[in-house]
Amino acid sequence: MQKYSGRCLCGAIKFKTNASPLWTALCHCETCRRACSAPVVAWVSFKEDTVTWTGNLNYYKSSEHGTRGFCGTCGTQMSFVSTRWKEQVHLYAASLDGSPDYKPSLHCYFGERLRWISINNDLPKFETSAPQ
Q: In the complex, which residues of this chain contact Zn ion (CB under 5 A)?
A: 8, 10, 12, 27, 29, 32, 71, 73-74
Residue whose C-alpha is closest to residue 85's, from 27, 40, 7, 18: 27
* CB closer to Zn ion, 18 vs 81: 81
Residue type, 42: A
We find the least distance from the C-beta atom of residue 36 to Zn ion, in angstroms, to be 9
We find the least distance from the C-beta atom of residue 109 to Zn ion, in angstroms, to be 6
We find the least distance from the C-beta atom of residue 88 to Zn ion, in angstroms, to be 14
Could you list the beta-strand ranges (E) of the chain: 4-7, 14-17, 23-27, 41-47, 52-54, 58-61, 66-70, 77-82, 85-92, 107-108
Measured CA to CA, the distance from residue 21 to residue 49 in angstroms comes to 13
